[in-house]
Structure 1
Amino acid sequence: MSQASKPLHVTQWILLNFMLLLTLTSSNSESLLHYTDFVYKKCHNETHIPDTLVSSLVQELVEKSAKSKFYQTSTGDDLFVVSGKFQCNHDLTVVNCHDCIVNTVTILKCSSGSLARVQLKGCFISLEPEPEPGPDQPEHESAKVDNKGLNLIVREDYLQHKKCGERRPWIEGLQEVRDVAFETFAKCVTSSGVRYCENRHEGMYAMGQCLGSMEVCECGECVSNAFQVAQDKCWGSDLGEVYLENCFISFSDYVRPRTRWP
């Protein structure tokens, strides 16, 4: 390399890193700006719970969100037990978390009066009847009854919501890059210590988080399941989001994560 070409090479390197820094700063600002955007709402079809129990539980969750970014509890009487939990994205401040949870409460009630789970970009809140565990039923699984009256064991990390972007299967090598990025990310989220990770690999961006009460091995399994859904359902898509019961992921084929859908 000639002496004349070295300054140009250094200048290009500096400009590239400066542009990347601006991009990451912009993406973080955009993410914080839209943390109250609605993602999905899921109503449960179980027996109606007395309003007094629901109101007291919601009030407790809202109050806790002013001090913490994750909380779960339950309340009830002789007839009903209701469990409630919320979690905010790791990159939100506690102030933003509280604001996010307050915004979920305004849309928490279903038209049928049943309990619900509401997911915004920056947080979720969930209220549901607490099942009585059977003698052979693990704590991380819940029982449902099918139309024949038989008890079915249902995993808690079942799919809640997914959204896939534009399909771009013609990009050569994209799937291989994505597979490596997903594997790298799964290791990152389980080793982070906070069950949250934001990672980039060869132009692929991925971000995700597990429920605060999950063990490391459970978190890794949940994230792996979420990526499997992304691979199966969003094959060739340029970006996507997958929400399971106890974790969520989002990914993009760009260096800058896209927090807004076209």
Structure 2
Amino acid sequence: MKTITALNYDASSTRWLHIKQENKLFKNKLEFLFFSFFFFFFFFNRIHTAYKLLIKVSENLTKKNVTFFPISQMGILRTKQTLSFLILLNFSSLVFTTDNTNVVYKGCSEQKLGQQSSVNLQTLLSSLVAASGQKTFAATTTGDGQNAVTGVYQCRGDLSASDCYLCISKIPSKISKLCGDVAAARIQLNGCYLRYEVVGFRQVPQTQLLYKVCGSKKVNDGVGFEAKRDSAFGMVENGVKSGNLFYTGSYSSLYVLGQCESSLGNDDCGNCVKSAEEQAKLECGDSISAQIYLFSCFISYSFYPNGVSTTSSSSGSGGNPHTERTVALAVGGVAAFGFLIVCLMFLKSVLKKRNHGKY
């Protein structure tokens, strides 16, 4: 009797242990699936972001021919050594983020601000940042007499007010870091710019060339590049005059963008953009891409000799839909493969635990 009781007890105890072990495995599986699900989407998002980052870096690496031009008395990188150093700094920043707040170029005067003008500048910057949450362009003056400071900001025409605010709000700290307490400065980011100056500071012509970037790769004109570029430039020139001083579009695989400062009239904007186009031809020639920044307007273009899957003369983004779909498929495949490997490893672990439970 005792032996039977002992056997029944051992059997019950063993069964209870197995049930407890199975329930524990089931609980771990739920937890693992939950974290695997979270990891999958996190991994997919990081890979996709990293791929877009690498694409952006590669695009910037092709733009090697960079030149700064002085704005009146604003000492903008007068030596090649200084320029090279800034390019390295910008590239280091680009490695970590490629958004609208990346610095394109800076212009800083050599003249310093007086104490009262410095106070007025801080008030001015705060006012401009606050306004950027409501509109994409504003100009204002703070202070009186010789201590007054005037400032202007503008965001790219395709940015919303909230994105404009995020862009402009980064500039005050960049002014402090890149220029210091100077009488005039201009900071151009990818998505916006802000400039200020003390009253009476020497003015600059609207069509003064401030900055250029020419793609290092050249185009074989056997594809009719010059004719396509001239046609696209004509679209930009007409577009800015009839489209709120901003235009983006494409023509035969050549993507273009142009924008004028909102203080300009339509005709002045058209003339400014035309000057920028002439500078692009003169400075960049048959480069596959270019960015030209004048004092009151800028243009950019990128040419895809092999074509893109879809083109539109009024494209708002200037992106390559075929490339984006290819990226999505490639990244999805990589993420799915990685997730499959993790699942197989988990399955192997579960089977091992179950085999151990039989002993």
Normalised to the residue count of structure 2, the TM-score between the two structures is: 0.54
Report matched runs for 1:1-262 at 5 Å: 34-49=99-114, 50-109=117-176, 110-111=178-179, 113-114=181-182, 115-131=184-200, 143=203, 154-172=204-222, 173-192=224-243, 194-254=244-304, 255=308, 256-257=318-319
Q: Distance in 1 between matches of 2:288 and 2:106?
A: 24
Structure 2 residues without counterparts, runs of 5 or longer: 1-51, 57-97, 309-317, 321-359
Cα pair 1:90 1:196 within 8 Å, conserved: yes
Cα pair 1:167 1:235 within 8 Å, conserved: no
Q: Distance in 1 between matches of 2:276 and 2:179?
A: 30
Superposed CA offset, 1:70-115 (max 9, x none): 0001122232221101000111111110000011122112445213
Q: Distance in 2 between matches of 1:111 and 1:247?
A: 22
Q: Distance in 2 between matches of 1:227 and 1:48?
A: 36
Q: Distance in 1 between matches of 2:179 and 2:276?
A: 30
Tell me, what secondary structure is at the counterpart of 1:67?
Answer: coil
Q: Distance in 2 between matches of 1:103 and 1:85?
A: 15
Q: Distance in 2 between matches of 1:249 and 1:38?
A: 17
Q: Distance in 2 between matches of 1:167 and 1:60?
A: 43
Q: Distance in 1 between matches of 2:278 and 2:191?
A: 23
Cα pair 2:133 2:164 within 8 Å, conserved: yes
- Runs of 4+ displaced beyond 4 Å: 255-258
Greater share of strand: 1
Residue identity in the other structure for 1:68 = K
Q: Distance in 1 between matches of 2:111 and 2:144?
A: 17
Tell me, what secondary structure is at the counterpart of 2:154?
Answer: strand
Cα pair 1:206 1:252 within 8 Å, conserved: yes
Q: Distance in 2 between matches of 1:229 and 1:41?
A: 20
Root-mean-square deviation (CA), in Å?
2.1
Q: Distance in 2 between matches of 1:120 and 1:257?
A: 20
Residue identity in the other structure for 1:242 = I
Structure 1 residues without counterparts, runs of 5 or longer: 1-25, 133-141, 144-153
Greater share of helix: 2
Tell me, what secondary structure is at the counterpart of 1:107?
Answer: helix
Cα pair 2:146 2:198 within 8 Å, conserved: no
Residue identity in the other structure for 1:211 = E
Q: Distance in 2 between matches of 1:102 and 1:75?
A: 18
Q: Distance in 1 between matches of 2:252 and 2:219?
A: 17
Q: Distance in 1 between matches of 2:138 and 2:174?
A: 19
Shift of 1:59: 0.6
Q: Distance in 2 between matches of 1:113 and 1:57?
A: 14
Q: Distance in 2 between matches of 1:71 and 1:241?
A: 24
Q: Distance in 2 between matches of 1:240 and 1:108?
A: 26
Q: Distance in 2 between matches of 1:126 and 1:79?
A: 18
Shift of 1:171: 3.2
Shift of 1:179: 1.2
Residue identity in the other structure for 1:244 = L
Shift of 1:191: 1.3
Q: Distance in 1 between matches of 2:119 and 2:219?
A: 52
Normalised to the residue count of structure 1, the TM-score between the two structures is: 0.74
Residue identity in the other structure for 1:126 = R
Superposed CA offset, 1:145-198 (max 9, x none): xxxxxxxxx513211111111231423221121112111221111111x11001
Aligned length: 208
Residue identity in the other structure for 1:241 = Q
- Larger radius of gyration, structure 1 or 2? 2
Tell me, what secondary structure is at the counterpart of 2:249?
Answer: strand
Cα pair 1:80 1:129 within 8 Å, conserved: yes
Shift of 1:61: 0.4
